[in-house]
């Protein structure tokens, strides 16, 4: 079972201080219990990426030395790190897989990737209640810290113009790989046209500066592998020249690596966290501590050295280098730690594993039912402060107890079903094959209706009255699929009642059918 304590070299705070992305579903409908595995899965992915670095990459460097490192080996490490790092983020995407370079249009959003989801939902009219343009822009600016209203409004209008402009071209590499359909057709088409217009310099002199402030369009997919190879060649050569006594040069190198990699943006998502991991591997390889580039709260803050670094990264890497220098010196004297946050993330990871086990035990179970059960059991939670890690820890512990109880109950149900099926099978060997109780029970389980009669005179038959011929025909159709008897609809003499009559019955098949879940849906 994953535990942050298993990390022996890297600071566990790299995992527990990280703020994961929300899924498009969560942005649309709000955070629910069903979203826990997606968000906490990102912590798990990061843990496995750093564990891979500890178990494979750093030992290789220790054994062979940096002199033996080649661009090909470094590129393979990049792919392996991302294979772990991007697993959850890319789990729901079509034609996207962690550890594989992008094959479709990729956009870097300067104010966070959630902005893309919000624009897509608005263009598809999926917000409930429906938002006016003014309401949407107000929400967009509020939820994307630092985004000016003027930029948001102008960018939205550019997207809307391109969605309407059927004459705007789409580059062949996007046409071949992008599947445009459903409610997001308009937004998807607009973004493909915008990317093409950006690369082919087709935007107007007024539009291009606005687009540049909001988004960066990654190069055409077919060019990405060569870009990564050139990146690896340059970074490996410079890596070998680093001196851990010259923190200024090291910080400048790490800033350049982070910018260059995220600018190439070779993977559909998780590029920033992959670049951070590469920097931390490099720092550890030359005897320096790993760093927490973004502490809790930095992601949404517009102040501080991290916010300043990211705001200026496209035009000036010096603020990022200064921020990294500061992070290294802090890590040398007092590495970042937050014991209450560490406990909270550990228990959330444990909760996520319970939820995934629930879905494995009963795939149809709605995880959101746990929310209502939890609230009914624990009225105290309404008095807890969600911004207090200690309060959140208590709530999560109580929630995990509820989830574990649900899992235990589902496992008992599964065991009882298996036991009941087994008992039917074993009893058929202990009792007469024509035991009416067993046969009645078997027919009831198969058809979902009670009241079957067993007649065992010259030959065995099972029958039941039905109110309508349509219902009787439906039952017969289902029984014929099971192939253990001859089933027919009959009408009794005299009173003309409708019955389903089963003859030529294979009792062994009848009694074992429920065990194999052979019954049809009536």
Domain ranges for the chain: 4-100+222-333, 107-217, 340-417, 432-516
Q: How far is C-alpha 45 from the chain's CA centre?
A: 11
CA distance 374 to 257: 46
What is the pLDDT confidence band of residue 469, given thresholds at 50, 70 and 90? confident
pLDDT, tens digit, 9 for 90 and up, residues 135-180:
999 999 999 988 999 999 999 999 999 999 999 999 988 876 555 5
pLDDT confidence of residue 478:
83
8 A C-beta contact, residue 358 and residue 403: yes
pLDDT, tens digit, 9 for 90 and up, residues 405-421:
999 999 998 888 777 65
pLDDT, tens digit, 9 for 90 and up, residues 262-318:
999 999 999 999 999 999 999 999 999 999 999 998 887 878 999 899 888 888 999
What burial class does residue 353 get, using C-beta atoms within 10 Å of its C-beta: 0-12 exposed, 13-18 middle, 19+ buried? Answer: middle
Helix (H) or strand (E) holding 498: strand 498-503
pLDDT confidence of residue 71:
98
Within 13 Å, how many C-alpha atoms sit on residue 76's CB side? Answer: 8
Q: Is the pLDDT of residue 222 over 80?
A: yes
Q: How far is C-alpha 498 from the chain's CA centre?
A: 53
Tokens of 151: 């930029």
Q: 3-state class of 217 per DSSP? A: strand
pLDDT, tens digit, 9 for 90 and up, residues 471-499:
888 888 888 878 889 999 998 877 888 99
Global pTM reads 0.71
Q: Looking at the domain covering 4-100+222-333, what would its CATH class be?
A: mainly alpha
Q: What is the DSSP letter of 520?
A: P
pLDDT, tens digit, 9 for 90 and up, residues 322-366:
999 999 999 999 999 999 999 999 999 999 999 999 999 999 999
Q: Looking at the domain covering 432-516, what would its CATH class be?
A: alpha beta
């Amino acid at each position: 079972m994953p535990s942050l304590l298993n990390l022996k070299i890297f600071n566990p705070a790299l995992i527990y201080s990280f703020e994961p992305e929300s899924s498009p579903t969560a942005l649309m409908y709000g955070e629910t219990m069903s979203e826990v595995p997606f968000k906490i899965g990102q912590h798990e992915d990061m843990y496995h990426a750093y564990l891979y670095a500890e178990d494979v990459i750093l030992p290789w460097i220790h054994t062979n030395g940096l002199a033996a490192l080649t661009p090909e080996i470094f590129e393979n490490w990049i792919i392996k790190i991302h294979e772990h790092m991007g697993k959850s983020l890319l789990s729901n995407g079509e034609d996207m897989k962690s550890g594989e370079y992008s094959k479709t249009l990729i956009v870097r959003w300067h104010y966070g990737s959630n902005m893309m989801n919000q624009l897509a939902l608005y263009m598809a009219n999926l917000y409930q209640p429906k938002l006016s343009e003014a309401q949407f822009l107000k929400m967009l600016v509020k939820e994307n810290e630092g985004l000016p209203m003027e930029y948001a409004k102008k960018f939205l209008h550019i997207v809307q113009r391109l969605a309407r402009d059927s004459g705007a071209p789409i580059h062949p590499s996007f046409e071949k790989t992008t599947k445009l359909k459903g409610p997001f057709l308009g937004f998807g088409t607009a973004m493909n046209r915008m990317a093409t217009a950006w690369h082919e310099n087709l935007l107007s002199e007024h539009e291009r500066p606005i687009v540049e402030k909001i988004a960066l369009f990654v190069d055409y997919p077919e060019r990405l592998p060569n870009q990564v190879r050139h990146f690896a060649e340059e970074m490996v050569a410079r890596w070998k020249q680093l001196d851990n006594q010259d923190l200024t040069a090291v910080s400048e190198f790490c800033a350049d690596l982070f910018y260059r990699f995220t600018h190439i943006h070779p993977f559909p998502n998780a590029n920033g966290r992959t670049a951070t991991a590469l920097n931390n591997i490099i720092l550890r390889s030359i005897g320096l501590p790993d760093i927490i580039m973004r502490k809790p709260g930095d992601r949404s803050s517009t102040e501080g050295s991290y916010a300043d670094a990211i705001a200026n990264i496209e035009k000036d890497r010096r603020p990022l280098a200064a921020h990294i220098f500061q992070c290294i010196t802090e890590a040398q004297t007092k590495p970042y730690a937050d014991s209450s946050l560490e406990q909270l993330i550990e228990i959330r990871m444990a909760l996520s594993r319970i939820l995934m086990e629930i879905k494995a035990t009963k795939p149809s179970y709605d995880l959101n039912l746990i929310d209502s059960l939890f609230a009914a059991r624990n009225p105290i939670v309404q008095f807890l402060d969600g911004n207090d890690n200690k309060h959140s820890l208590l709530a999560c512990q109580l929630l995990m107890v509820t989830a574990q109880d649900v899992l235990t109950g589902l496992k008992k149900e599964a065991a009882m079903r298996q036991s009941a099926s087994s008992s039917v099978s074993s009893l058929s060997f202990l009792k007469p094959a024509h035991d009416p109780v067993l046969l009645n029970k078997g027919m009831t389980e198969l058809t979902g209706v009670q009241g079957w009669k067993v007649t065992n005179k010259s030959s065995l038959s099972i029958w039941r009255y039905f109110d309508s011929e349509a219902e009787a025909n439906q039952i017969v159709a289902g029984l014929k699929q099971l192939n253990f008897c001859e089933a027919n609809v009959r009408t009794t003499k005299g009173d003309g009642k409708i019955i389903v009559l089963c003859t030529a019955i294979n009792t062994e098949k009848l009694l074992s059918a429920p065990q194999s879940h052979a019954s049809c849906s009536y």
